[in-house]
Amino acid sequence: MFKKSLQLIGLTILIGFSFFYTDKVVNVVRDQDPLMIKIHEYEDSFNKGSVNAFIEDDSIIPGINACVVDTISSYSNMKKVGSYSSNMIEYKEIKPKLSLDKVYNKYIIKGNKSRSEVALVFKLNDNKYLTNILDALSKKNIKASFFVDGQSIEESTKDIYRIINKGHEIYNGGYDGEYDKDLLVWTNNMIENLSYNKSKYCLVTKDNKTVLDICSKNKMYTIKSNLVVNYGSMFNSIKPSIEKGSIIVFEVNDKTQLELDKALLFLSSKGFTYNVLSNHLSEKGCSKN
């Protein structure tokens, strides 16, 4: 019995070693294939490292995933056709140690400054100024994000479609000017039924732990930018603080059109590009956005 046990153990070790040895031989042979050599050369020039999310007190700035060549998948693609093509390269993402993922209990204050872009956000409580804003954005082919009051959504569905059909995003701006735990889901459902994007952001213009808690419990991120254009703070006053990754919030009123024109003129002169929030705050490292 003991002898048979030893034989079984020996056989198991031999099989395991055979698999290990065979795998090593396959890897060596594959790495010597001219196709794989070219893939590795491309990999050496392409691979991008990750950027950690930056967390300080109750705020967070998103990180960026590493984007690296998936050598095995790329090799498999090219082996099927027998030739190298950079168009057949496959990529994979690797998360940084610190990430925005599921960190709902902190304010997002801006996007990662590794990207030379800003996000324009409009807090829309009064739809009568909407046409001018949409026209100004269309002239520059700029896509923005709108936080719309739930009551406005109920009463002016056609205006929501005007925003969506222009390629902009809409998000939950509360209900009747406030975020309410009982109405949050209701407003989210309206938005998600009307639009193409999941309503995953809340918006505040100053610290509000109640809103942060309500939105966090519903697995929503809360945006809190220090760059807010309203009656008390015109665009010229926030201009010196704008940088890569900034989120510029406009509280829509009768002066918004004028302040938006100033903003677009300045941002264009500085070479900034624009993005909607879902892309601006994305941590995808292989994204083309």
Comparing 125 with 167, the larger pLDDT belongs to 167
Residues 6+ apart with CB under 8 A from 50: 63, 64, 65, 66, 94, 95, 96, 97, 285
Check whether 15 has a pLDDT greater than 70.
Answer: no
When pLDDT is averaged across residues 46-51 and rounded to a whole number, the result is 90
- Quick one: 7 and 86 in the same domain? yes
pLDDT in the model for residue 197: 81
Residue 179: CB atoms within 10 A of its CB come to 25
Check whether 119 has a pLDDT greater than 90.
Answer: yes
- Quick one: 46 and 83 in the same domain? yes
- Quick one: 139 and 207 in the same domain? yes
Q: Is residue 99 part of a domain?
A: no
Tens digits of per-residue pLDDT, 230-285?
988 899 999 999 999 999 999 999 999 999 999 999 999 999 999 999 999 999 99
87 is in which domain, residue-wise?
2-51+63-94
Q: Which domain CATH number covers 162?
A: 3.20.20.370
- Quick one: 180 and 137 in the same domain? yes
Tens digits of per-residue pLDDT, 155-196?
888 999 999 999 999 999 999 889 998 899 999 999 999 987
